[in-house]
Amino acid sequence: MTCNPDNWASRRTCELAGARLVEIVDLPLNNPIYLSGELRKCRYRLDTLV
């Protein structure tokens, strides 16, 4: 899962769902999301039982 680092509501939702923050990454310069003005993303991991 990803969300913007400054979107505290989304970050909290990820955590309440059981996801853990893995890292905050810089987007590649040629990424369409970067070109629209978003420079970084939080990466979350949600482990599920299979």
> Would you say residue 24 has pLDDT above 90?
yes
- H-type alpha helices, the chain: 8-16, 32-35
Q: Provide the number of structural domains found in the chain.
A: 1
45 pLDDT band, cuts 50/70/90, is very high
Structural domain boundaries enclosing 27: 2-45
pLDDT in the model for residue 49: 77
The share of the chain scoring above pLDDT 90, in percent, equals: 94
Could you tell me the pTM of the whole model? 0.82
Q: Does residue 36 fall inside a structural domain?
A: yes
Q: Which residues pair with 42 in a beta bridge?
A: 3, 24
Q: Judge residue 42's burial from the number of C-beta atoms within 10 Å of its C-beta, 0-12 exposed, 13-18 middle, 19 or more buried.
A: buried
Task: Tell me what the pLDDT averaged over the chain comes to.
Answer: 95
pLDDT in the model for residue 48: 84
Which of the 8 DSSP states describes residue 35?
H
> Would you say residue 50 has pLDDT above 90?
no
